Amino acid sequence: MTRFPDRRDLTILCAHPAYKIVDALTRRAPDLRVMGATDGEEARARLGQADVLCVSGLWRPDWLAAAGRLRFVQSISAGVDQFDREAFREAGVRLASAQGANAVAVAQHALALILALSRRLHEARDLQAKAEWIGMAKSPAARQDEVAGKTALIVGFGAIGARLGDYARALGMRVIAVKRDVARLGGAADEIVAVEQLNEALPRADYVVLACPLTARTRGLIDAAALAAMKPGAALINVARGAVVDEAALIAALQEGRLARAALDCFAAEPLPPDSPLWAMRNVIVTQHVGGETRAYEDNVVDILLDNLSRLARGDRDLRNQVA
């Protein structure tokens, strides 16, 4: 492989409809030559000039063959399902993810959903919209709750899950971590179990939080059997990917009362179709896949990008968040 271009000779194309990566990168590294694109057509037209591409959802597989100068792609997102890793290896183009760029935001979003379900904030908001005052709940089961002493089972204990575990423990919760490699914890938890033991651990959890990547192993992980294994009164929080959950089974469990509550940030189809029963369920909080949104996101991605540009310039074999 030829030497990576000198920093002074690099042209970087940042393609995203919303994130202001160009502004952050220009502010942080004014010596770099940077271009921007806000849609696929504009990005495709400028692709031939780029040595480095910073992109996520706009990426199209045919871009790899069309980008004659391309040497490195920095994904703007933590997920890299849209990239064909083998094709990148064959083309000699390096690829890295933005894993960790939104770990704080997603972990805090998951915690907010746990607290919102516990304190029934969504129900209070619904009553506010109707200017309705219902007073104190007469049944203990209808009251707001507290999370101290409850158990959070966190599926996926990487950067997001481990940080959420720290938050949960700070609030007095017991944390069970579910992860692929049980030999490497990577964060504080009271207990760690393998993915294969998930259904055995589910009955002990008050809150089941999905913070895992979408892989062949995790697709449909929370199916009808897993939902049936959850204890009465438990809640499901999904800040991972919609396909980790069998959505039809989830809706059935919620409608039949087998699952008490859910707070969902991602769905099988996005945007969530207007006719989805999830919109109208009083025991469900829907957020619009915004768990990773943060005002710091651009700078967090640029941190990773600049680190990787330095590594490539040195000829390092290993990149930060390396994928290919």
> Cβ of 277: how many Cβ atoms within 10 Å?
12
Q: What share of the chain is helix, strand, coil (3-state, %, to 5)?
A: 40, 15, 45
- pLDDT at position 141 is 84
- pLDDT at position 135 is 86
Residue bearing tokens 């949104």: 293
Q: Which of 115, 301, 97 is nearest to 213 (CA)?
A: 97
- pLDDT at position 172 is 98
pLDDT digits (tens, 9 = 90+) for 204-239: 999 999 999 888 999 999 999 999 999 999 999 999
- pLDDT at position 283 is 95
Reported pTM: 0.88
Which of the residues 44, 69, 169, 289 is marked catalytic?
289
- pLDDT at position 319 is 97
Instruction: Identify whether 270 is a catalytic site residue.
Output: yes
Structure tokens at 54: 């910073």
- pLDDT at position 321 is 96
Residue bearing tokens 């005052």: 133
Q: How far apart are CA 302 and CA 298, in angstroms?
A: 6
39 within 8 A of 17, measured Cβ to Cβ: yes
Element (H, E) at 128: helix 121-129
pLDDT in tens, the chain (324 residues): 578 999 889 999 999 999 999 999 999 999 999 999 999 999 999 999 999 999 999 999 999 999 999 999 999 998 888 999 999 999 999 999 999 999 999 999 999 999 999 999 999 999 999 999 998 888 888 899 999 999 999 999 999 999 999 999 999 999 999 988 776 655 689 999 999 999 999 999 999 999 998 889 999 999 999 999 999 999 999 999 999 999 999 999 999 999 999 999 999 999 999 999 999 999 999 999 999 999 999 999 999 999 999 999 999 999 999 999
Q: Which residues share a beta bridge with 33?
A: 11
Instruction: Identify whether 289 is a catalytic site residue.
Output: yes
Q: How far apart are CA 78 and CA 99, in angstroms?
A: 4
Which of the residues 241, 261, 311, 320 is marked catalytic?
241
- pLDDT at position 185 is 59
